[in-house]
């Protein structure tokens, strides 16, 4: 298990937990990020810029600041492939 901000790029990951304050969590839920969803880090901005996170479950993409990505705990998806 690791934080989304430290996750390898281009690998399917499963969201284990979404931590952080209520505001951030509510926002993530509203944009369709929930526990057990499959996500993938697709790209990132330069100089430790934001991450481009694709939600494979919902088929949506979200740009996420590192602080936010730090609050999301993920694990490599077991059913990878």
Interface positions with other proteins (CB under 8 A):
18, 22-32, 34-35, 42-50, 52, 55, 57-68
Please work out, in degrees rounded to the nearest 5, the angle formed at the alpha carbon of residue 81 by the alpha carbons of 34 and 1.
50
Minimum CB distance to other proteins, residue 75 (Å): 18
CB of 15 to other proteins, least distance (A): 11
Smallest distance from the beta carbon of 48 to other proteins, in angstroms? 7
**Cβ-based nearer residue to other proteins, 11 or 34:** 34
| Residue entry with tokens 């939600």 | 55
Which position has the token pair 């990505």?
69
Look at residues 81, 49, 40, 47 and name the one whose alpha carbon lies nearest to residue 68.
49
């Amino acid at each position: 298990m690791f934080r989304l901000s430290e996750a390898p790029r281009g690998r399917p990951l499963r969201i284990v937990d979404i931590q952080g304050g209520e505001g951030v969590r509510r926002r993530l839920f509203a944009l369709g990020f929930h526990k057990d969803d499959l996500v993938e880090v697709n790209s990132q901005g330069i100089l430790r810029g934001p991450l481009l996170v694709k939600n494979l479950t919902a088929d949506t993409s979200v740009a996420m600041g590192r602080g936010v990505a730090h609050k999301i705990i993920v694990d490599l998806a077991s059913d990878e492939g």
